Amino acid sequence: MRIGTARARARRNGAIAPAHAVSGPAYAGKRTKDLARSLPAGSIAVIDHRDIDRVAAEMLIAAGVVAVVNAAPSISGRYPNGGPIRLVQSGIVVLDDVGSEVLDLVREGEVLAVHDGALWRGGEPIARGNEPRTADIEAAMETARLGIGSELRRFAVNTLEYIDREAELTFEPLTLPELRTEIKGRHALVVVRGHDYKTDLQTLKPYIKEYRPVLIAVDGGADALLEIGFTPDIITGDFDSLTDRALRCGAELIHHVHPDGRAPGREELHAAGLAAGADYAEFVAEGMSEDVAMLLAYEAGATLIVAVGTHSTMVEMLDKGRRGMASTFLTRLRLGPVLVDAKGVHQLYRGRVRRGDLVLLVLSAVLAMTIVTVATDAGRVFADGFWLNLKDWWHSVTDWLGDAF
């Protein structure tokens, strides 16, 4: 479904005034999340992203873009993805479904403009599309929501096919790489840069400081931890979205390798000058990198695994762009009650009252009462009387002890 088509037609017919123009340096990229990390504020992002997911939208918003030009439909109608609505509600102009040739037409950093349903270079339109507004996107999301049953059936079929092929392999014992981080008997916090990861990490700060869980980051999750002042103990994944700072922060690097031999992060690691065995280890397991991070913690003996930013709902899994997410489903079956979502932890966790905290509280109260007492005439009279009585009592005790011995 193309959003904004009726509105665009009405605008051409003069029924709706054209949107305000925005301009800025334009940058194009096929991988939205990679592009968003390097965009300067005030720029125009030119992407090819069918069904913009919520995490990608939030990264574009954080980058401070003024417009998003999408070669593909931002909502195809397959499911109610939450990316486009976040963009327009943040005041970002969206030019939608302009065609894939736009990626070749944009020269990096050149100043372009978006208005009247087109991307302009000077006075010449180089790509045309739809400019959806909030009402258009909400209508498209509602239509997608009504038709999600068919997508759910396809999702279930693909998931069951995977389970039929891979279930036995999934539950076989895994060979762990040699780890220098002690995990057995500890909590583990697995951080993925996914839905609500920033909010969850902020609310989990007291939990992290008190329990000191093993911090396991999945790719860009390492940067998320560094941003709030924590250094990951372990980084795993295919290392395709990791900054150099995170790569060299001192964490153990565990490269996720698939059982069929696929090793998507090996080139990235070698390009960074890192060697297998010496600088990083490899962990062979099936599934997504976030599943593998959880399995690593589980097999190493973690007593509790807290997941931040991982995929748990159907919409989140569809945002990931996979036809089936059976590996995630099977991983959760394998981990059982050991795995909890970060939202559950920060809603239930209030911090334990420690003995030292109680002592400090009592001493603070005594100090406050003492200051108030000596600061008033009545308080000084009371203190003097108390002191005289105490001295009389002490003299009586010493006299009794003298007579007794």
Q: So what's the pLDDT on residue 4? A: 47
CB 175 within 8 A of CB 254: no
Q: So what's the pLDDT on residue 9? A: 43
Between 384 and 323, the more confident residue is 384
What is the pLDDT averaged over residues 142-159?
76
Q: So what's the pLDDT on residue 335? A: 83
Is the pLDDT at 345 greater than 90? The verdict is no
Specify which residues 45 forms β-bridges with: 27, 68
- Determine the Cα angle at 383 with ends 382 and 385, to 5°: 65
Tell me the percentage of the chain whose pLDDT exceeds 70. 73
Q: So what's the pLDDT on residue 288? A: 83
- Strand, coil or helix: what is 275? coil
Contact residues for 356 (Cβ-Cβ < 8 A; gap 6+): none
What is the pLDDT averaged over residues 16-32?
79
CB 374 within 8 A of CB 383: yes
Q: So what's the pLDDT on residue 326? A: 63
Q: For 357, left (φ over 0), alpha (ψ -120 to 50), or beta?
A: alpha
Distance CA 282, CA 87 (A): 38
Tell me the percentage of the chain whose pLDDT exceeds 90. 41
Contact residues for 45 (Cβ-Cβ < 8 A; gap 6+): 26, 27, 29, 32, 35, 36, 39, 60, 63, 65, 67, 68, 69
Is the pLDDT at 21 greater than 70? The verdict is yes
Is the pLDDT at 12 greater than 80? The verdict is no
Distance CA 50, CA 84 (A): 11
Pairing of strands 124-128, 118-121: antiparallel
Least confident of 21-30, 78-87, 335-344, 345-354: 345-354
Express each pLDDT in 281-336 by its tens digit: 999 988 788 889 999 999 999 999 999 987 666 565 665 555 445 677 777 778 88
pTM tops 0.75:
no
Task: Give alpha helix (H) positions in 78-216.
Answer: 83-89, 102-105, 134-146, 148-170, 197-203, 205-211
Q: So what's the pLDDT on residue 277? A: 82
Q: So what's the pLDDT on residue 8? A: 44
What is the pLDDT averaged over residues 366-392?
60
Q: So what's the pLDDT on residue 78? A: 83
Q: So what's the pLDDT on residue 364? A: 62
Q: So what's the pLDDT on residue 197? A: 85
Is the pLDDT at 89 greater than 90? The verdict is yes
Is the pLDDT at 264 greater than 60? The verdict is yes
Express each pLDDT in 42-79 by its tens digit: 999 999 999 998 889 999 999 999 999 999 999 988 88
Distance CA 186, CA 182 (A): 8
Q: So what's the pLDDT on residue 7? A: 44
What is the pLDDT averaged over residues 203-230?
92
Between 311 and 8, the more confident residue is 311
Express each pLDDT in 243-259 by its tens digit: 889 999 999 999 999 88
Q: So what's the pLDDT on residue 366? A: 58
Between 369 and 116, the more confident residue is 116
Nearest alpha-carbon partner for 324 in 192, 151, 195, 183 = 151
Confidence of residue 168 (pLDDT cuts 50, 70, 90): low
> What's the chain's average pLDDT?
81
Is the pLDDT at 5 greater than 80? The verdict is no
Contact residues for 392 (Cβ-Cβ < 8 A; gap 6+): none
Distance CA 394, CA 405 (A): 17
What's the distance, CA 211 to chain centroid?
A: 21
Highest mean pLDDT among 143-147, 242-246, 348-352: 242-246
Q: So what's the pLDDT on residue 210? A: 87
Least confident of 9-18, 74-83, 87-96, 317-326: 9-18
